[in-house]
């Protein structure tokens, strides 16, 4: 048993130090790739979506995360009051509302 421990220590000492550096370099490179291809685009998209939600106003057509189409009746601090049918309104959190694609397309056509 003692011989095996001593042989293991000798094997660890004989291992070149360059392999440890290459391991850390590879880990850093993997992190950089993840950052530029996954993390950064996602944060950019979230900022754009937040800016879009802040610019929504009364009368804009929206879609909720649940797929309900409606029109903003009132803007509150953390929520929208949305009209989904005649005399039917719902209160929806701002985080679950997206601009309606048809509304955005009509705005582009007017330009």
Per residue of the chain (111 residues), give pLDDT as tens.
545 555 555 555 555 556 788 889 999 999 999 898 999 999 998 898 889 888 889 988 999 988 899 999 999 989 999 999 999 999 999 988 988 766 555 554 555
Sign of the torsion formed by the C-alpha atoms of 19, 20, 22 and 26: positive
The answer to whether 75 and 56 have CB atoms below 8 angstroms apart is: yes
Classified as helix, coil or strand, 42 is helix
The answer to whether 44 and 85 have CB atoms below 8 angstroms apart is: no
């Amino acid at each position: 048993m003692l011989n095996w421990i001593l042989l293991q220590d000798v094997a660890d000492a004989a291992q070149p130090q360059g392999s440890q550096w290459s391991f850390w370099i590879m880990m850093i490179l993997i992190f950089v790739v993840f950052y530029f291809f996954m993390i950064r685009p996602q944060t950019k998209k979230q900022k754009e979506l937040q800016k879009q939600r802040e610019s929504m106003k009364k009368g804009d057509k929206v879609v909720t995360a649940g797929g309900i189409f409606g029109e903003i009746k009132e803007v509150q601090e953390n929520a929208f009051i949305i009209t989904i049918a005649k005399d039917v309104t719902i209160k929806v959190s701002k985080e679950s509302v997206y601009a309606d694609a048809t509304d955005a397309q009509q705005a582009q056509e007017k330009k």
